[in-house]
Structure 1
Amino acid sequence: MRLLVVAVVVGLAAIGLRGRLPAPQGVLNALANADYGLILLAALLQFASIGAFALQQRRLLQTMGVHLRHGQAFAIILASTALSITMPAGPAVATAFTIRKYQHAGATREVAAATAIVSGLASIGGLALLYVGGGGVIVARNPTAFLNWQPLVVVTGLAALTTAAVLLGRRYSRRPACERGSGRHGITGRRATYWLRTVLNSARDAWRAGAELRVRDWAAALAFAAAKWLTDLMCLTVVVRALDQSIGVTTLAGIYLSVQIVRQVPLTPGGIGVIETALAAGLTAAGASGISAAAAVLIYRLLSCWLIIPAGSIAALVDRRT
């Protein structure tokens, strides 16, 4: 099965990238002439992106009464990110792994699941906050730019949905228990019905635990999520600059948002082949040469994806020994 999965992933990547990559020698020359000082800076920014995510998780767990060391939080996030990249249905597998690790650290099932739920909402909200804030600055400088800033429509909708989910959850969590109903009485019948009700009850308890967070805790989670997205975007920007391509930050932000939307479609583990194709097409359309676009995609994906796989494996082993 593993060989079959690898073969399918490689085949899809080859189909997606067929005819889009320039001659390998040209790409190697571009890589050789890159500014490796900037590439080192891009690597540090990617490290900071993962670190911001780990700090967010640690802060959420501390708010709910679970202490997690900095190194342990970073190791768990690094390992779960590697799982998310490499496994079919990676985000679900990574979430289950993270919840189990948090339970080993002393969190209840509801608290661990609540951390995952709040983190997911904060991730959407942080991305929306980043683009709404950047778009607001652009529109303030040039009001006509709003007509060409189509991604703002998408992120504004995401921000509205996230805010509505948080407000409804907080309102629901304040209702008396007798109004909410335990949902645990009269569980009879088939095993599937029992399993479904158990899952719904667990999800309800997890959401109530997360919705009861204070406003400042939500604000901190959003701030860490925005920092995670911002440093990842800056990593891509620095990589493009390292290859001497003068694409504007606004244009790169639009390409980056498009790639984040594309990667939500789980066609391949970690979006392998799909993200590379989307990034190369976006950079080429923005004015980069085919050789420079291919080199930028290789470096960025090396830093944000492929190097994380062995690093996450090592982090998982170290965390298990600890």
Structure 2
Amino acid sequence: MADTTPPWWRRGPVVAAVVVLILLTELIIGWRPLMEAIDQLRTPQWNWVAGALVAEVASMGSYARMQRALLRGAGTKVQVRKHVALAYAAHSLSATLPGGPVFSTTFNFQHMRRFGASPAVASWCIALSGVLSTGALVVIGAVFGILTRSTGSWQTLLTYMGGALLVALTVRLLAQHPEWLIRPARLLLSGANRIRRRPPAAGHARLAGFVDQLRSVRVRPLDFAYAVLLAVANWLLDALCLWMCCIAVGADDIGPAPLVIAYCAGMAAASVPIVPGGLGVVDGALILGLVAGGLATGSAVAAVVLYRLISFGFIIGMGWLVWAVMRARARTPRGVPAR
């Protein structure tokens, strides 16, 4: 029987110890700025805090609507509230669990299937939404990098934009012509079957059925363009939340371009799954970026703490509540009211 014990670096106590060690190190190194930040956090401007909260909620809504636009373009129409609930729950799974992106992708796939999407359409939507989201962040970072003259030239921007567009169009083109993938996919599957000591043709029939489903994916250009705009809006609204948090604690000595560059650095750090939620890693990258943009260390710490309380604490908390409700409803048989 195969050993299913996870490697030592993925075990709960080890992950918890790493998180605690990182937080203690940050606490020791940044004790003085932390005290200054606490002073600023005691009397925030609550109207700007409310604005930051609205911006973060709108950011989550943009991501949910992006996935809805892709599914709708592929022929599956779902209510907005269901997509928003899915976005919150999946985000919480991804941000807080070890190996969270795997759980999040599975959760997304299962619920898109319940929405009525075929396995091929659900897989395609999840893949393309990830490509669009990553590409949008790259383009935003390139644009604001040029505005601050921290990158080479407009040729750099065009390269980034062209690369992001090429990847997105390639995924879309492969969805329209999935037969191009049949031969290489069969070769890979046959190789995997040999390693697993199974018949060479095992799974080929399922692969052919999956490709037939994928042939039905035809997203209208208008829906695709709308999804691209929503992917950009998702990041910009999140950055707006950070900017409002800066103003709320009196740290308004940074311009929009340096702030967005700092934000993109923090989000790039979040893509490295060292610890759940990027605790310590994202915060450090954001603080360093804001300080480089002109803020005092104490002000940068206060702004980032407030931003993370909203974007991580509040949003993740809401996501877990939504996940609990969705799980309870999924377990409730039809015709039986949920308590």
Question: Which of 321, 324, 333 is the aligned partner of 1:317?
Answer: 324
How far the C-alpha of 1:243 sits from its partner, in A, is: 1.8
User: Partners of 1:23 and 1:170 in 2: how far apart?
Assistant: 48
Which SS does the other structure have where 2:88 is aligned? helix
Number of aligned positions between the proteins = 314
| Structure 2: 5+ residue stretches without partners | 1-10, 330-339
Would you say 1:240 and 2:242 are equivalent positions? no
How far the C-alpha of 1:109 sits from its partner, in A, is: 1.4
User: Partners of 1:151 and 1:33 in 2: how far apart?
Assistant: 42
Which residues of 2 match residues 51-90 of structure 1 at below 5 A? 51-90=61-100
| Structure 1: 5+ residue stretches without partners | 139-144
User: Partners of 1:35 and 1:195 in 2: how far apart?
Assistant: 66
Counterpart code for 2:129: S
Question: Which of 114, 120, 123 is the aligned partner of 2:133?
Answer: 123
Which residues of 2 match residues 48-197 of structure 1 at below 5 A? 48-131=58-141, 138=147, 146=149, 148-149=150-151, 157-173=159-175, 175=177, 177=179, 180-181=182-183, 187=190, 189-191=194-196
Greater CA drift, 5-14 or 231-240: 5-14
Q: Is contact 2:174–2:180 with CA below 8 Å preserved after alignment?
A: no
User: Partners of 1:214 and 1:197 in 2: how far apart?
Assistant: 35
User: Partners of 1:59 and 1:87 in 2: how far apart?
Assistant: 28
CA 1:179 to 1:244, structure 2 compared with 1: closer, same or farther past 3 Å?
closer
Counterpart code for 1:162: A
How far the C-alpha of 1:134 sits from its partner, in A, is: 5.1
CA 1:223 to 1:288, structure 2 compared with 1: closer, same or farther past 3 Å?
same
Q: Is contact 1:183–1:197 with CA below 8 Å preserved after alignment?
A: no
Which residue in the other structure is 1:26 paired with?
Answer: 36
Q: What is the CA deviation profile of residues 88-136 of structure 1, one whole-angstrom value per residue up to 9, with x for unaligned ones? A: 1222221121111111222221111111111011102322443455567
CA 1:210 to 1:267, structure 2 compared with 1: closer, same or farther past 3 Å?
farther
How far the C-alpha of 1:156 sits from its partner, in A, is: 5.1
CA RMSD in angstroms comes to 3.5
Would you say 1:7 and 2:17 are equivalent positions? yes
Q: Is contact 1:135–1:152 with CA below 8 Å preserved after alignment?
A: no
Task: Calculate the TM-score normalised by the size of structure 2.
Answer: 0.79
Task: Calculate the TM-score normalised by the size of structure 1.
Answer: 0.83
Q: Which has the higher contact order (CA 8 A, sep 6+)?
A: 1
Q: Percent identity?
A: 27
CA 1:210 to 1:248, structure 2 compared with 1: closer, same or farther past 3 Å?
farther
User: Partners of 1:34 and 1:207 in 2: how far apart?
Assistant: 53
Q: Is contact 1:43–1:303 with CA below 8 Å preserved after alignment?
A: yes
User: Partners of 2:99 and 2:107 in 1: how far apart?
Assistant: 13
Which residue in the other structure is 2:4 paired with?
Answer: none
Greater CA drift, 163-172 or 121-130: 163-172
Which SS does the other structure have where 2:75 is aligned? coil
Q: Is contact 1:56–1:220 with CA below 8 Å preserved after alignment?
A: yes
Question: Which of 228, 232, 237 is the aligned partner of 1:231?
Answer: 237
Q: What is the CA deviation profile of residues 120-163 of structure 1, one whole-angstrom value per residue up to 9, with x for unaligned ones? A: 11102322443455567x4xxxxxx54x3469887655433332
User: Partners of 2:291 and 2:265 in 1: how far apart?
Assistant: 14
Which residue in the other structure is 1:43 paired with?
Answer: 53
Which SS does the other structure have where 2:21 is aligned? helix
How far the C-alpha of 1:50 sits from its partner, in A, is: 0.3
User: Partners of 1:196 and 1:33 in 2: how far apart?
Assistant: 67
Which residue in the other structure is 1:142 paired with?
Answer: none
Counterpart code for 1:8: V
